[in-house]
Amino acid sequence: MSGEILLRAEGVGKRFGGFVALNGIDLEVRAGERLGLIGPNGSGKSTFVNCLGGSFPAHEGRFIFDGKPMAGLAPHRRGHLGLARTFQLPRPFNSLSVLENVTVPLLFGPARETSPAEARARAMACLEQVELAGRAAQHPRELTQVDLRRLEIARAIALRPRLLVADEAMAGLSHTEVAQMLELLFRLNAAGTTIIMIEHVMRAVREFSQRLVVFVAGNKIADGDPNEVLAMQDVEEAYLGR
Ligand code: ADP
Ligand code: MG
């Protein structure tokens, strides 16, 4: 049961030099939705998230999030508007503790009226959600791969986003760890967070996605019911290499 359009990408294009990484992507995401985004390596998935998150500007088109055009807004401003993303390669602040990593986004920007004590309490609650509370005092370099991915999610949800984009949050995780990560994303979604899951772990994508979008070479080639999309011959050829 999805609500209003929360995110709309209109003709988003991105070039790196002469290389077209994204070619006029149109995409709508409804509030409360669980959307899967798949595609071969290099098909533009992370580039799409980077443009959406404000890491770099799109060359053409625009994103409307929660009714507001995102153009020109810095990443932290988008974060405070309810847009969160994780990075494919976790990027913690290595000199800070696990708890401090989650507290930082709460102490800057519009949320800085929050007192340090409140920020710590909220950060701790996020760590509890991702089952990382027991490692609050440790440093990122002491964490396992799965715990680094959990920390990445905890940092992303600290500002209570309306939309969370998880960019390959399951890469390198074991079967059990994938199941745990999946459960966490389901829980966040049940609590009202709209989620875009970018993933190569097809078992997880199938189980999670209510709708599936496929990128190939910077183009959106499919968008619809996951079973129907996965049954399309060109998806098999492009994505599964058959
Ligand atoms: P995906 O996430 O689908 O694997 P990416 O969005 O990371 O793909 O990359 C799409 C294409 O854009 C790739 O060919 C990649 O090499 C290129 N690309 C991505 N980011 C940059 C960048 N910052 N500079 C130059 N080329 C880039
Ligand atoms: Mg990527």
CATH number, domain of 14, equals: 3.40.50.300
Residues 150 and 217 in one domain: no
pLDDT tens profile 63-95: 999 999 999 999 999 999 999 999 988 889 999
> Among 125, 160, 195, where does a domain finish?
160
**Host domain of residue 7:** 1-82+162-242
- Please give the number of the atom of ligand 1 that sits closest to the Cα of 215: 3
Residues 96 and 171 in one domain: no
Residues 28 and 77 in one domain: yes
The alpha carbon dihedral of 183, 188, 191, 197 has a sign of negative
The CA-based dihedral angle spanning residues 108, 111, 117, 121, taken in that order and rounded to the nearest 10 degrees: -110
Residues 127 and 70 in one domain: no
Ligand 1 close to Cβ of residue 211 (< 6 A):
no
Residues 21 and 135 in one domain: no
Structure tokens at 45: 């998935």
Residues 2 and 74 in one domain: yes
Ligand 1 close to Cβ of residue 46 (< 6 A):
yes
Residues 113 and 13 in one domain: no
Residues 30 and 53 in one domain: yes
The Cα 10–Cα 135 span in angstroms is 41
Ligand 1 close to Cβ of residue 41 (< 6 A):
yes
Residues 111 and 185 in one domain: no
Q: What is the pLDDT of residue 1?
A: 47
Whether ipTM exceeds 0.95: yes
Residues 24 and 57 in one domain: yes
Residues 20 and 69 in one domain: yes
Q: What is the pLDDT of residue 237?
A: 76
Would the pLDDT of 31 be above 70?
yes
Would the pLDDT of 118 be above 80?
yes
> Among 134, 160, 186, where does a domain finish?
160
pLDDT tens profile 183-233: 999 999 999 999 999 999 999 999 999 999 999 999 999 999 999 999 987
Please list all protein residues whose beta carbon sits less than 5 angstroms from ligand 2, which is an ion.
45-46, 88
Ligand 1 close to Cβ of residue 58 (< 6 A):
no
Number of domains in the chain: 2
Residues 143 and 174 in one domain: no
pTM of the model: 0.94
Structure tokens at 149: 């991915």
The Cα 145–Cα 150 span in angstroms is 9
> Among 139, 160, 181, where does a domain finish?
160
